[in-house]
Structure 1
């Protein structure tokens, strides 16, 4: 019985995790390539005798899952499962779980960091000084601003709590949210209209899974609702934003800044036109990449896999 482990950073915590699998008799196939696996590479490694996969962002499509004939369980190293064909997994009898609660704090803190970067342009100021300059760039305060948090899951909640701590007015949009005690405790307003939240907010922070309903939730029409001074933060999935429409909005100054940790194609092409804009910020999908979150993801995903395989 074999286990395939695809995430590149998982090896940093193999001392804590590999023995948990090995003592149960599993042989481990680890990713030592430093790269994300392709469909064919996964099939080549997991086509036979692999009963479990701990997966990062590698594609587990219907094609891949159907070719892994001994596969019983998939454990996501992280929370988002849009790289896994859940319908195919269900049809094939393959259990799937994600490491819920492992990285919500880390991603939320990066979202806040991107807000400060957009508001105060810290990297621009630092680069200017290191290049021999001493020019200041005027920023804005976050205190007193309205932030619209789109999505009230674990990460969205952590962002909302931290925004309140910064003295911001927090409006939450999530049609499935029903935790009135959380709203009362932190003084957060739940709004039932996405359009209203986009129109009233100085900052928008996206915390949604990628689904057919949420794809391109930020598009040419919704961007027109936002203030010209507004800041868009996206630490969820690149495909939540129509990048062509975002480029136009930023280029024409219809919104002030967009700061993202995600992109539709990662990494983007060096010729990507959004990267040429001064008011577009992109970090390399690093939201969950902290020592604490990576360790939790490794442990949670290993424990989840063991539990699924025991059933």
Structure 2
């Protein structure tokens, strides 16, 4: 059987597949060569992608031999799940494989606010010794508000509590006996507005859907404390970026850490690049060597199961 890989994968994943005798065609830039992708996809039994490849109606219809799609990550907004289901094409994803990395990114962002050691070090190298300037704050007793209470929020919560933070959250799909409330101890709020208004840090952990698109807009940003920060490691589009730029420019909030944007890579004329208090990273929250070994290996194993007629626990 033949498997096409259209985006970056760690060698551990390729080894899993080749050790089982699968024929691999790998081009990490193929996602950007749409015509070629549509031309060759009929030859393959499975395709493995990240977030750039559009696994849409045209691709799924062209893939006449496709039995499985593997997603090297957890976001699924680039895959037409409805068409895949209609065509009986199984979609597997890297369930929880990068959750720890994303959680650590969130903690790093908050520590970057409270103790900006890199700035203090640069200041010393410029000949200064400004102790007062770098007398900052603690995470202890600060409040983090989690929007969406899935696996990543669970791991963020555990780490935040280790710092002595207060953890509150909002998720209309979570009940009082779900583990993130009953075991992790997140204080649930019935309204998103409560989380926004009470938090020193707001961290977003929801999928991109029609319901969550522009979930955080001008009205929501106005509810936040002027000293607060918002962190988005989920998906671009969840925050209205123009509204956020305006809020940052007018000091309605203190800052934003954005690992995802509605259009990636970021256009150099984007208004957020004019904001000194917008800290933008290139979609790397889930990218650590450890997480990518887990992700690549897990997706490869689950694709093997599907193509071998076995049960996968990572099917969407």
TM-score, L = length of structure 1: 0.91
Q: Does 1:27 align with 2:23?
A: yes
2:201 to 203, 217, 222: 203
Over 3 Å counting, the alpha-carbon distance change for 1:177 and 1:266 in structure 2 is: same
User: Superposition pairs for residues 81-230 of structure 1, below 5 Å?
Assistant: 81-130=76-125, 134-135=129-130, 136-178=133-175, 179-230=177-228
User: Superposition pairs for residues 244-259 of structure 1, below 5 Å?
Assistant: 244-259=242-257
**Deviation per CA, 1:158-204, whole angstroms, max 9, x where unpaired?**
01111111111100111111344542433321111111111111110
TM-score, L = length of structure 2: 0.90
Over 3 Å counting, the alpha-carbon distance change for 1:6 and 1:289 in structure 2 is: same
State the distance in 2 between where 1:158 and 1:36 align: 32
Kindly report the root-mean-square deviation, in angstroms, between the aligned alpha carbons of the 2 structures: 1.9
Which runs of no fewer than 5 residues in structure 2 stay unpaired?
Answer: 310-316
Checking the alignment, whether the CA contact within 8 Å between 1:13 and 1:298 is kept in structure 2 is yes
SS of 1:170's partner is: strand
Per-residue deviation at 1:6? 2.0
State the distance in 2 between where 1:189 and 1:273 align: 35
State the distance in 2 between where 1:132 and 1:44 align: 60
Over 3 Å counting, the alpha-carbon distance change for 1:64 and 1:165 in structure 2 is: same
Over 3 Å counting, the alpha-carbon distance change for 1:237 and 1:11 in structure 2 is: same
State the distance in 2 between where 1:37 and 1:125 align: 41
Match of 2:6 in 1: 6
Over 3 Å counting, the alpha-carbon distance change for 1:258 and 1:87 in structure 2 is: same
SS of 1:147's partner is: strand
SS of 2:291's partner is: helix
User: Superposition pairs for residues 285-296 of structure 1, below 5 Å?
Assistant: 285-296=283-294
State the distance in 2 between where 1:162 and 1:184 align: 16
Over 3 Å counting, the alpha-carbon distance change for 1:11 and 1:149 in structure 2 is: closer
Over 3 Å counting, the alpha-carbon distance change for 1:74 and 1:180 in structure 2 is: closer
1:68 to 44, 63, 86: 63
**Deviation per CA, 1:268-307, whole angstroms, max 9, x where unpaired?**
0122221221110011111121121101111110111112
State the distance in 2 between where 1:282 and 1:290 align: 17
Per-residue deviation at 1:237? 0.6
Per-residue deviation at 1:92? 2.1
1:310 to 296, 308, 311: 308
Please say which of residues 106-115 and 123-132 is displaced more in the overlay: 123-132
Checking the alignment, whether the CA contact within 8 Å between 1:118 and 1:259 is kept in structure 2 is no
2:230 to 229, 232, 237: 232
Q: Does 1:266 align with 2:264?
A: yes
Checking the alignment, whether the CA contact within 8 Å between 1:172 and 1:190 is kept in structure 2 is yes
Number of residue pairs the alignment of both structures matches: 305
